[in-house]
Amino acid sequence: MGYCVFTVIFRDGSRQAYITGNAVDFIEYPKRLNAADIVDIKMHTGRHDPDVRQGPKYYWCIYDGVEGAS
């Protein structure tokens, strides 16, 4: 079981560290910031940041088709 740790740097100079599972699709942004405010991402940094955020919970859905469909 792996994980990703990274720090997002925003246009206003603020930073936010994240720890997520291996599937990283979304993060929760600090208030008043969004994806357009990102200027850099530092991979493998932020693990010990006191304000590190967890990524959103995600769920696997295994689907292989509809029974009886041809």
d(CA 68, CA 70): 6
Q: What pLDDT score does 36 carry? A: 97
Q: What pLDDT score does 17 carry? A: 97
**Which one is predicted more confidently, 56 or 4?**
4
Length of the chain: 70
d(CA 29, CA 32): 8
Q: What pLDDT score does 70 carry? A: 58
Going through the chain in order, the beta strands assigned E by DSSP cover 4-10, 15-20, 38-43, 53-54
Q: What pLDDT score does 26 carry? A: 86
- Residue range 17-53, pLDDT digits in tens: 999 887 777 899 999 999 999 999 999 999 999 999 9
The residues pairing with 54 across neighbouring beta strands, listed in sequence order, are 19
